[in-house]
Structure 1
Amino acid sequence: MLTAMSISRKLGLSFLLICAAALAMMVVLYTNFTAIREATVESNTSQSLYARAQTLETSLLRQNSQLRGYLVTADPTYLKSYEEARVEYDATAAGLATVLTGAERDALLTSRRETLAWRRDWGDRLIARVKGGARAAAEDEVRGAGKAVLVSAAVLPLRAIRDAETSAIARNAARQEGAIAMGFTAMAVGGILLIGLAVMLAVLLARAISRPVTALTRTMGELATGRTDVTVPATDRGDELGAMARAVSVFQDAAIAKQAADAAKAQAEVAQKLVVDTVSTQLARLSDGDLTARITADFPEDYAALRTNFNEALVRLHDLIGSVSESATAIRTGSGEIAQASEDLARRTESNAASLEQTAASVTQMDGRLRASAVAATRTVERADQAIAT
């Protein structure tokens, strides 16, 4: 599959896989960070509610303690602190009532209702008695009331709110820890997966691109040195490397064809040199009068006709010279006979020399010519005999 895919698509797919893995890890991390943020916000809210509930409880306890101090000493300072705690409670309760829901809001309303009842039945009423001069009677009433004068009924609902927020804080902390752990796990697993994916893609790309490129480069180098017996790799691939390999294969075929042409040319030159040298040698022998200078060497097929024609011409020349030699011998014999007959005729006609002077002169001239012909024929025969002997 990878061999049929273009290199650009291979690289694009690799980057896409890495980006997809990174995106998946980022989504997981974003989800966990969102959970951490939400848990943090909820935890901060719970801590704020817990702090406000704590403030309400502190305000109630402060009102109770300042009331007792005022009853004992009638010091206006206690009364001032009582009023501050009262205002703080009312403001905090009003603000808290807008954010609490469900059972916690009911607990807040219960605490507020019990607080107002305590103020009406004890706090404000006893302060008014002290201001009216009945401090001792107010003290006696408080001592006689026992637990009835306490603010426990208003404090206990606030502690229920605190307990609920404490549980919420614990849950949010657990969520935070879980989200953080999940985030670290996602980072570790995602990092390992990314590294593994990168290594895997590197190996695959090395096998699909780097190694074939190296092999193709090595093959091209061997072709450049003149080696044509190498095997061009990756010619069956459908990507750019396959196209390059097929182009290199074409170069290889061209190199093989060139080598074959060079070899054929060299062979032809060797054959031509053999023919030229052989013919030159035999012609030199022939020029020296050797009529046996036949060509016995095996000529290439293209020059076989030349060898045959040369040998046939040599045979014909030999026969021709033989015929000439025989003719010269016959001429020499005939010339001798004619000379002898001429001498005889001269002797017979010597007595008639005066009358036949003109005839004798002609005969003498003919005799000279015949003698010259005989000499020439003799020389020709000698040369022919010499040629035949060699």
Structure 2
Amino acid sequence: MSAGQRFAQDATIVDTHIDAPSLLLRNWADLGVDTPKVEFDYPRARQGGLDVAFMSIYTSPGEDRAGSATQTAHTQIDAVEAMIGRHPERFALLRSPADFERLHARGQRVLLALGMENGAPIGDDLARLAQFHARGVRYITLAHSEDNRISDSSYSRKRTWQGLSPFGEKVVDEMNRLGIMVDVSHLSDDAVRDVLARSKAPVIASHSGLRHFTPGFERNLSDELAKAVAAKGGVVQIVFGNAFVDPASAADTQAYFVDNAKFEREQAAARERGEAVRSQADFDAAWEKAHPPRKVPIDAVLNQIDYAVKLLGADHVGIGSDFDGVSGALPDGLTSVADYPNLIEGLKRRGHSDDTVRKILGDNLLRVWRAVEAQAVRR
């Protein structure tokens, strides 16, 4: 066992963004056993030392328009619960940091927490927040690749609300009341500012890079906004995907969302005319064939973390990989949940102390989660 592997097994590793649930709906697999062609499964999670994996409950803008986002979200949560039910000795649902030690079972279990990517399943009904909280959702990324009822998206050219909507302000208030972490990844700059002004609790960026390395790419946080997240007591979870840590890949990603929005509009119009439509899978396959993943070194992620620690301090940096959400477009040496030891060894080579590395791997996120819970209790 390498030094990185030993450290990974001893530290608490919390990854705030793994897209296994939506992957399961497209291609079912038993993630409790070795599963080829995915980036998260139990054997590799234990190999990499992963302790808490936030399962991303993702719904698309297209599902929002079709009115199916709520159903999709509940179905994905069902899939996570089924995975736990199939392997209760390997997985458990984590609803609070207070339950970590009891459920972790001396490192034999990988604890699954739930993060909702895109607030679309809420619809226009605030009561659904309590429903999803009851099912275990502990953070919500307010928007995704298009503006929604809650917030503007960083990828959108419309800027419907110039930040948060009036309904979005109520959503933030209710999330604070319930103890659900507000996630500003994917939001426009103005929306991030509005969230920071509105929220009484610390906020997170569950899977974001820093715009310092990708100028003009609003999906990543500016230095100003990253510092504002930290100043409010929050944490920036550095993402691994090439699209967020490599400038050329970031440009590809921006182009994808522009073309995908056009594709969705064209398919909606075709359906109204009663014509045949192409599937999202077909569009994505054609896009990926035309834009193969670029070769990106692990140093691209290490550079982001180095810069974040210097900019924000060691108490405000974490990791949110986006495993199973970027179609394999990941840096060399960070291609699955087995690879956290490579990240650890890279950070140690760059001079980060054991204490700093432990904070980045998971301690910071757990601290913020506790603070959000405490704020909810005080209200």
How high is the TM-score relative to the length of structure 1? 0.19
Structure with greater helix share of residues: 1
How high is the TM-score relative to the length of structure 2? 0.20
Greater relative contact order (Cα < 8 A, sep 6+): 2
Structure with greater strand share of residues: 2
